[in-house]
C-alpha cells in the first residue's frame, strides 16, 4: 500500500478517501469570494471544517477563477500569514497552501504548512527548490489539454525525484476546469484510471465548477453540492484518493459511503 507524506503527516492510500476543505481568503473567488476574507472568519471556518471531518485544509489567497487578475506575492502573504499564524497549533490535520509563488510557499512553510498546492504544476525551478529543502507534500496540477496530461505527470515525477523529492510526497491533480473543455473535464473523470501514474496519490477538485453547472442548468454556485458529490463519487470509483471540496460535511458522508462500498 502506498502513502502520501506531507510534513509530519502520513496519509495511507487505498484505505479511505481524504477530504480536502477549501478555504479561500480572497475577495474574488468564483464561488465564495469575500466570505472568508476576514482572518477571524477564515480561522473559524477552518476549525469548523476540521470538526466536520476535513482531512486537509487548503488555504488560498489568490483566486484562479477564469479571467482572474494576479495579486502580488506581497499581497498574497498579507492575506495568508495572519490566518496561518492563528491556525498554527489549533488544527491537527495538514494545512495546504494554494499558491504558484515560490516566495509565498517558502514563507508559508515557516508557519506550519505541510503541503504546497501549485496550480502551475511545479514547473518553476524556484518552487522545486523550496520543496526540495523541506519535507512538505507537493500537489502537482496539470493545466491544459488532457491528451498531454499523462506524459506531463510522468515527466514531473522524474523531474521531482531527481531533485530529491520523494515520490511519496507527490500528489497529482488533473486540473478540472484548467485549460480543458467541458467534454475533456467529463472524460478525465470518467477515464481517470488512464491518468494514474503508478502509486502516486490522485486528487480531484470539481467542487462547484462549470462542469457541474452546465448539465444542471447553471444553478448558483452554492447549489451545486449534489452535482459535486456525483462527480467526486465517480472519481473515487475510478481511483481518486483525495477530493477537494467547499462543502465538507456532506462530502465526508459521501466519501464514507463510497469507501464502505469500494474499500472493503
As annotated, the active-site residues are 209, 244
Helical spans, DSSP H, in the chain: 39-51, 73-87, 102-109, 125-132, 149-162, 182-190, 210-213, 225-237, 248-262
Cβ within 8 Å of residue 84, ≥6 positions away: 59, 95, 97, 108, 111, 112, 113
Give, in degrees to the nearest 5, the angle at Cα 136 between 254 and 5.
50
Residue 62: name the closest of 74, 51, 71 by CA.
Answer: 71
Residue 196: name the closest of 177, 179, 172, 165 by CA.
Answer: 172
Q: Output the CA torsion sign for 212, 217, 223, 226.
A: negative
Cell readout for 182 is 467541458
Burial of 218 (C-beta count, 10 Å sphere; 0-12/13-18/19+): exposed
Cell readout for 104 is 509565498
First to last CA, the chain: 14
Amino acid at each position: 500500500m502506498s502513502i502520501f507524506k506531507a510534513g509530519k503527516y502520513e496519509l495511507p492510500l487505498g484505505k479511505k478517501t481524504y477530504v480536502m476543505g477549501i478555504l479561500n481568503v480572497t475577495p474574488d473567488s468564483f464561488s465564495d469570494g469575500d466570505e472568508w476574507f476576514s482572518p477571524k472568519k477564515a480561522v473559524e471556518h477552518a476549525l469548523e471544517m476540521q470538526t466536520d471531518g476535513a482531512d486537509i485544509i487548503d488555504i488560498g489567497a489568490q483566486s484562479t477563477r477564469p479571467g482572474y487578475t494576479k495579486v502580488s506575492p506581497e499581497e498574497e502573504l498579507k492575506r495568508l500569514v495572519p490566518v496561518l499564524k492563528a491556525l498554527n497549533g489549533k488544527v491537527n490535520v495538514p494545512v495546504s497552501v494554494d499558491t504558484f509563488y515560490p516566495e509565498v510557499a517558502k514563507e508559508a512553510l515557516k508557519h506550519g504548512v505541510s503541503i504546497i498546492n501549485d496550480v502551475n504544476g511545479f514547473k518553476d525551478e524556484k518552487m522545486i527548490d523550496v520543496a526540495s529543502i523541506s519535507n512538505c507534500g507537493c500537489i502537482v496540477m496539470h493545466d491544459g489539454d488532457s491528451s498531454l496530461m499523462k506524459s506531463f505527470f510522468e515527466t514531473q515525477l522524474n523531474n521531482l525525484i531527481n531533485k530529491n523529492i520523494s515520490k511519496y510526497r507527490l500528489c497529482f491533480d488533473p486540473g478540472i476546469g484548467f485549460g480543458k473543455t467541458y467534454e475533456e473535464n467529463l472524460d478525465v473523470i470518467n477515464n481517470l484510471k488512464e491518468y494514474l501514474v503508478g502509486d502516486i496519490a490522485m486528487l480531484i477538485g470539481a467542487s462547484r465548477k462549470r462542469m457541474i453547472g452546465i448539465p444542471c442548468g447553471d444553478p448558483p454556485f452554492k447549489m451545486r453540492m449534489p452535482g459535486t458529490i456525483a462527480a467526486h463519487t465517480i472519481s473515487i470509483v475510478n481511483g481518486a484518493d483525495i477530493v477537494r471540496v467547499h462543502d465538507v460535511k456532506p462530502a465526508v458522508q459521501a466519501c464514507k459511503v463510497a469507501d464502505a462500498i469500494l474499500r472493503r
